[in-house]
Structure 1
């Protein structure tokens, strides 16, 4: 029996299936920023997103015509404090090692790289935007190559990245993206998306009450100060950590909201019902509001999750 079969039989035995559909994904993420011009330029010129829409108060950026990131000017809001919960990073996923190498070229030429890791399931670059918001640019290895623990959980690590190999993939086609050029590639590929969002939270148990018990994500690899949750067997759609000891809800600039996108209205209704049941049971701290395209859930740390259908 596979790990999927184990989960299926366990759900049947309990009489309920609380998992999100496998097609669930992360949609747009939104940030409150002080300097809209500088931050827009960073995500355009370094991350490689295209500006899809822009006015004096807001910019929408994306890839292949699909919106991925919304920047909202909010200069009057204070900067995020050292105690505030909020964003650890927004993770933009490219689909080839060659595209990751192109991103590495943009970062090296136009910004500064803060970290680079091999996570066994993925290869990742880390940097901060001009306002200190964390950014990850990564590519997944094929699922069949992901290592797993005995219980079927995807196993990850933080090993040094083969930076030279990633760079070479962009310039000589040694990755899986075909022959390239030494010229800097300005735009991320059209199939780039937001693969996951990683949060800094004040409580992992409060995080799980909303995102696992309420929204229906499955818990994956975990530690005493970190949780990864996902749908459909992915390594993680959301991460949460308490590494820096955040103690107060998000109040300053930084993350405004992000989207969880489900495939259909039935999945959305299941989430509504599950959130209602969790709220009735008592201990979880969150608020739910209706939106024209779905629902908005504000967690105990003041972070808004917008749930909508495709």
Structure 2
């Protein structure tokens, strides 16, 4: 308990400054009405009673409804443009045709297979790529020697376009799952590596020194002090990596695949099925958003747990 010298007393007398100490001296800290914050008014919905638009935006149902406004407006504009004859049916089929194409593929049992195989490829490639990105990012962010040795080469490889890897991977691994998953892994690696390495370089040095003072070092210091300090940055990299994984998935399936949403895009283009092509695009957007939202839930939990 912090204690301060009392100028009104002599000798070694001190006056405790905590609430417990004040009660011990006979001072009732609960009787000072001015020190008590006013109780919030639970009634009413006016700004004077504590209501604000920001408070409404914190509610999950309100965020969901507001988030659906723009997609609904886009679907409405899409329907209007086709009804008004701005685009032909070949150029832009109406939403009803896209829904019919989805129902047809579901009836054939093909749509579920396309979605499942693409999601599986993304999750596997993302898991391996993010894991390697986290490991190498931590190594480069914590070691000056590793930074000098690895950072220039990794930075150069990061500038290589995704499609440039496809012919080489097909030559090495043939047309199979390995080449596609490896391409997705490459796409997921770089965002995590970049964000983790940069974040670890800027961890508060006083925090690190405090951990070392308690005997932490090496891997224990990394997992106990340094990584928890960069949890928001790590998840920012993971979310970027997940989006990059979906981009690299399409690059892989556009060129060498017989199943998946990327294959559905190519096959629909070759057969003039614009309705199926739009369906594949919509599914990529929806599934990508769902996976990102799930990662956002994990981010909130991790921030509360460690940050």
TM-score, with structure 1 as normaliser? 0.22
Task: Identify, as 1 or 2, the structure richer in strand.
Answer: 1
TM-score, with structure 2 as normaliser? 0.23
